[in-house]
Each structure stands twice: as structure tokens, then as C-alpha cells.
Structure 1
Amino acid sequence: MSQTSFSADWLNQFSDPYAVLGLAIAADDRRILKRYRTVAKILHPDMPGNSEPPIKELATQLLARLVNPAYQQLKQEKERSETLATLRFRVRRFNQEEPLLPQSASARQLLQVPPHAIEMFYEQAVAHLAELQFQPLDQFEAITRQLNELNLVYLYLKMGEPIFREKRTGIVATGQTKSPVSPSPVETAQAASSYARRHYQRAQVYIHNANWSPAIAELRDAIRLEPDKGEYHSLLAKVYLMQNLTGMAKVHFRQALKLNPQDPLALEYVSRLKLVLDQPKPVVSSATISKSAGNKLFGLFTRKP
């Protein structure tokens, strides 16, 4: 990367401020500030590694023309929301024009990760790349491109979902970050339940504001992660009903009552929709079957000729 690299066209390639700073999309205020301070310290002209004139100039240009503007875009909630909207628009446009074909290994791997493990893999991959991004400085361009792809794939996989921002413990410290690993079965089950609940809670917010389409998307994702939760089915049924999709509503009300015959929301609509519920088949014990078979067999031997 030479000084002549800082043309307008070159700078426009790094329009994702999260990638420029080495941050995950869900980063909160504290994480953004902490990462910015870390990067600004690395790029400070008085740092021992920046003593050579070409390196010092490169560090100064990166800080002034990319890092500082990126931080300005992310330090306030309003600007973050606008940035996220722009990135999502870009993902939707890419999705309409051509299939998403990332070049970096981490982004390709993220496309193959099961839904319940997306968040964990993505966060670990971003933290891993962030450690390499500015050390040495000539890695910035390649690593930032990888981070940009990773963010686009993440937003593609989360298309239609609000980004759930949480208070976190900060970015992973240097030396503690590990390459992305597959979660254990216990972690997988716990993550699925946790993420499903988040989808359900976000759906409730959308329903409160009468935003039916995103509510449906959230509840479908919740059911995909935890298909045996009756309350997810009954709430989805109600949303379908609000959109006059009575047939779909009936399907999910029936499923809710199948999973939980006492589901209050589903029971509320049973009579209103004139739902005909499947009657459970009587359970026949093995003892009864044996007795019945024995009686038939006994009858064969006692029948008169």
C-alpha cells in the first residue's frame, strides 16, 4: 500500500466503518470506543514501529482518512443506525443482482455455519481478524476486505432481522482470541433456545407496532430453532390472522394446541375460527394387546367343530 493508494476510488472501497475498525456489527458504544482507542494508539506517529518515514506517513493517512471518519460514523446511535441501513441496502442489492460469492475463507465458512451457531462463529472470526488488521500496517487492506465480506455475509444471513445489540465484556484481548471453533452439543442446544427466544421477543415488539411482516420473519426463525414451542406457533398464527391469512393461522393454532393443549392464545381462537381439532388416539397398552390376542387364540381352540 503506497501513498498513491489513497485516491478517492481506493478510499471508497472501505465504506464499511465496522470493517475499517475491525468491529462486529452488533458492537455497542463501549466496544466501539475501546477498539478506536486501540487502533489510534497503534497508528500514532510516535509509536516505535512507525518511526520509518513511509510507515509513519501510512499510519497518519490511515488514521486521518479512514479510522477517524469510521469512528465518527459509529460513535452515535443515530449514525450507527444509518450506517447499518446502508449496509443492509447493499446486501439486498447484491442479493437481487447476483449470488453472494465471498472470496475470503472466513466468509465462506460463515455461509456454511448452522443458524444456531452464526453469532458465535461471526464474533470469533471478527475478533481473530481484528488482531491482524494493523500489525503490520501493510496487512490493513487485505484484512479489511475480509472483514467487509464477513459483515456482508452476516447481514445476508440475518436479512430481515434487527441487529440485537447487547452489553458485552468488550473485544477479546490479544492472546486470548482463538480461531472459530464448532460449539459443543450442549452449547448448541443452549444457543438455539436463547436465539429463538430473542426472535420471539423481537416479534412481540413488531406486533405491538403492527409491523406484521418482520414479526412473521422473526417467529419463523424462532420456530426453525425451537419447533416444539407452542407459544411461538400460536403467536405466529395470530399474526397470520391479522393479515387475513386464515388458513395459515389455523395450521399454526392447531400445531400450538398439539404441543400444548392449554395454550391460552390458541384456545382463545378455537371457537372463533371454528377449529376442528385432531382427536388424540386412545393409547393401548401392551398388556391389553396381549390379552386381546390371547382371547382370540383361546377362542380358536375352544370353538366347537
Structure 2
Amino acid sequence: MSFKIDRGLFKYDFIDHHAVLGVPVDADVKEIRKRYLQIARRLHPDSSFTESDEQKQLGNELLSKLVNPAYEKLVGDRTRTEYILILSQIGKRLLQESTSVTLNTDLGKQLAQTPNLDPFYRSAIAKLAQTQYDSLEQVLQVIAQISELNLIYLMRSASKPSTATSPAQPKVQSATPQSTPQNTPPEPAPAPPKEDSVVEQYFRRAQSLIDKNQFAQAKVELQDALKLEPKNSHCHSLIAMVYLKQNQLKMAKIHFDNALKLDPNDERALQWKPKLDKALGQQPSDHKVTSSTNNGDKQPDKSGSGGLFGGLFGGKKK
């Protein structure tokens, strides 16, 4: 069974683990563990809650593919801290793009308007969680509804609004610097350092993994960093090096091209792009960039076991 969800935070290529467990985004570990045990008891194949074999299989898939990964992500100290920081940044980003955010449920529209943000949000989550896993066929719809509430709560918390928003789009008032100039500077000031520090953590871990020749894990770290900063040239050039060391030359070229498009002076891309073009039998193109949606995405280049890059990296994939 496919567990694809395209509403709430899921719509923005983000897995909303809080929505899967039916807890508020600021739930503590104790609350998360308690909620997980409740869900696990309902979904376990030996539970009387699931009667038919089909229901048992569906419950087991929900438990293994959604619930268990969500719990593991939210109870680990490091993974939970990083996840909460990413949530905060997503809230700020969506606030800036709020004109493109639409709401699908009446409950979501009410949350976007209510002046009593916190109590309304927690009450709504609690009510939905009570029956979240009663009907296994409806679980994904309930998760999507909870995720929409999480999205609205994050946006409104990011702007700390004092007035309600339009129900059609949760564009929460971002204070204009007319009446209270003192309130505006503190808002944008702390955001960049936080975001930079999170992405920098991904860079450090990725570089450490690269030094250990653990390229697959390094790639995962850099892919997470790109979700936060898709226009970070340094991240594109570093993940290009990872692909290069895995002999996936076409994928490396895509990211080197993106790095140069974003920063024509990126040293790593400038150093390796001409060599890569030569290895692929191409002429250096004066840094003209190919879109990442070209046919290079179809299959990573698995060549390179010999020649220039085979000699440099041994032609081995990690």
C-alpha cells in the first residue's frame, strides 16, 4: 500500500512525524513515548483491534513504515533537535510564501483565524488523535489533516501574530515597520544564524563521512541540507564530489553545473567541472549550466572504473 500524503507539511517534501503520531509539534519525549505505545498496541498484528488478515497486514505496514520511523526520529536527542530546528525554518519559509499556501479543511481555516492559537491547536490535535487509528483506511486522511494544523501553527508561531488571518490563505500578519519599529528588527535578526548553524552541521557531518569514505551516508546528509537551502552553491559542489567519488559522473555534473549557476566563483566546481567534462567526452562550456531536470537525472553514470576518475578514486562505490 502506498502511504503518499500530499497535504499539510507533506506537500512541501517534508515528512511530518508529529502528524503521524498525532502529537503537537512541541510535544516532549514523555508525551511522544506515551502516544507511540498507544498506537503500537492498536496496530500490532496480535492486537484484537485488527480482526481480518488484511487489517492485520495494513496495521503492521502502518506501524513499520510510518509510526516506528516517526517515533525513532522524535525520541533521539540529536535527531529530534535537528528535526525541530528544521520545523522552525520551514515555518519561517512558508510564512514568506504564505500567498501560495491553501487550506483544505474547516478546522484548518478556524485555526488560521482564531485569536486563541495555542489552546485551539492543542484541543484540535487531541480530538483528532482520539480516533486517528480507529479506521485504518482513513489514517492517511487524518494524518494529512493534523499536518495541515501543524503547518498553520508553525506559520503563526513564526510571525507571532496579534490578529486573525484570511481563511483562504493562512497568511499570518508579518509586522510592518510603520507603527512599532522595535518589534520588526528582532524578528529577522535571529533567523539567519539558526538556519546557517543547522546547515553547517550537515556540512560538518558530511565532510567527516567523506573523510571516512562513507559516501552514501554523506550524500544523505547533503540532501537534507539542500532541502533547507536548495540554492546553496557550496552544498551543490560538495554533493557533486560525493557523486564523483561514487563514479556517478552525470549526477556530479548536474550539481557542479548548479553550483556554478548559483556562484560562478565556486572553487571546487571550477576545479573539477573541466575535468568532469573531459571525462564525459565533452568540451568545457564556459560554465553554462544544464538544468537539473535534464536527462542526466534518469540514470546516474556508473562509468568511471578506469581512466581519470578511476585513477583518482579507485573506481569503487561506497
Q: Report TM bin, short chain.
A: 0.3 to 0.5
- What's the TM-score, normalizing by structure 1? 0.48
For the pair shown, the structure with the greater C-alpha radius of gyration is 1
- What's the TM-score, normalizing by structure 2? 0.46
